[in-house]
Structure 1
């Protein structure tokens, strides 16, 4: 029963997120730290090219990003008990995350720790795609890795 209610809350949150996100995107107020985004079913990698691109970029599925955050909250059990209030709380947290990203608070340009973790993830993906023979995605990962290395070199203290 609890799992059913949690899934119900997820759908309620997603139904409420859609018009809010559409409104913000339509008026061009939502921006992300986003360069060349490599999005797949498993991962979203953010690299430091074009940090001012809007979420309306046709190559970036921003609503999918918000949905993934909501799903992660449910999966990690923050809202396992399952009430309408908790579903609305999930929506609130997702909306706050979107505002944080809009105001460029996360990731902080002064902190480089996120870049190193992302670099490792991208390197692993590049190796996996090479092994699978997917040269196009492997090249995308290589380009993202080069951009991130360039960023790390330029942002040395």
Structure 2
């Protein structure tokens, strides 16, 4: 994953095919989503078990049918079913992450073309941020402090 950007009611997830020529990127855009989560793949054993038991494991992007996550929200959060009577559980898999999104609408998926050569490869060893934030971060970074540092 290159970035996950949640702002102004829009969730943008940018993925990079780091091993392919030109390192192509795609952006998944969700305009309506009551929730999402991003976990390392090794911590989603329960999801893998559900998918294997129900014969759903297929590809790097898919919807989970009979989603335990949706069922739990409907059971424990009374207003969830009222606001979202029809909702889907989307899953996007990367080499490191399992990104799960609840949304009543399918995302739009856009090709962003090749990754610039001077940009670091996406992945857990490199922290990337949404391109729109770069100028703001350059201004803020010199003024940030760590923890209780007085420096």
Task: With the length of structure 2 as denominator, give the TM-score of the two structures.
Answer: 0.24
Highest RCO, 1 vs 2 (Cα 8 Å, sep ≥ 6): 2
Task: With the length of structure 1 as denominator, give the TM-score of the two structures.
Answer: 0.23
Larger % of strand: which? 2
